[in-house]
Amino acid sequence: MNFQAVRSIYLFELARSRRTLFQSIAAPVLSTTLYFVVFGSAIGSRMQPINGVTYGAFIVPGLILLSVLTESVSNASFGIYLPRFTGTIYEILSAPVSALEVLLGFVGAAATKSVILGAIIFLTAKLFVSFDLVHPFWALGFLALISVTFAMFGFILGLWADGFEKLQVIPLMVISPLTFLGGTFYSIDMLPPFWRKVALVNPIVYLIDGFRWTFYDFASVRPLISLSMTLAMLVACVVVVVWIFRTGYRLRS
């Protein structure tokens, strides 16, 4: 294992976030703050508690993941796309660095930034609503696992995209809508039986529901199923990445 190579890629990607601090941290925190003000305070005060949890507190886990999922995908996709766009990807491919080391550097940096962002939003939420964190270690584990999974997905997206427009299509047209429909602002138990079954097709439901369980110790879907779904998504992304590096898809052309 070439730890120096992993460290170099990892630190370079983290430094890129410092150069784009507003885009990477400030913008997601600001938009999430607006959600807390509108939905948590203005609308939440008129909503009935859900399973004994105030509405403002109920939406905290969903809002954290709303930003984390989007930023994980965006950070990882831009991180690997820019070397392809500028041509410096060939320097990485010709260096004595394995696919695993490249992956650890890019995905590790993107996941780290997402976990930091999640922690900042968590602290920001404390300024607006009072809520519990029943299973803090499980919460950190879920957050890290989800960040790694979607950073891996973003890495694949960055390799697939052949233009900046395609980098935006999936986060805006797929990830964000699925997150909004995945129980960010409501519990799927509130849906009619038919639509509840439809909602279970959305994989984001399991992520948000499992993460919400770590806060309040209740869930619409068993936490073990949520964890299994997250791991399944991670394994699927790993399989695709292995195939990409073995075939050279979008790397050598």
- Report the candidate in 148, 130, 150 with the shortest Cα–Cα distance to residue 215: 130
252 falls within a domain:
no
Q: Residue 4, class by beta-carbon neighbours within 10 Å (0-12 exposed, 13-18 middle, 19+ buried)?
A: exposed
Residue 33, domain extent? 3-247
Question: How many other CB atoms are there within 10 angstroms of residue 73's CB atom?
Answer: 27
Name the domain count of the chain.
1
| Residue 173 in this model has a pLDDT that exceeds 90 | no
220 falls within a domain:
yes
158 falls within a domain:
yes
253 falls within a domain:
no
Can you give the pLDDT at residue 188?
Answer: 87
101 falls within a domain:
yes
Evaluate if pTM is beyond 0.75: yes
* Residues in CB range of 209: below 8 A, 6 or more apart: 183, 188, 219, 220, 221, 226
Q: What is the pLDDT of residues 77-136, one digit of tens each?
A: 888 888 877 767 777 767 777 778 888 888 999 999 999 999 999 988 888 888 889 999
Can you give the pLDDT at residue 122?
Answer: 92
Token pair 């320097």: residue: 91
Which range, of 6-10, 138-142, 249-253, averages the lowest pLDDT?
249-253
More confident residue, 249 or 143: 143
Beta-strand (E) ranges in the chain?
Answer: none
Average pLDDT of the chain to the nearest whole number: 84
Can you give the pLDDT at residue 22?
Answer: 64
Question: How many other CB atoms are there within 10 angstroms of residue 13's CB atom?
Answer: 22
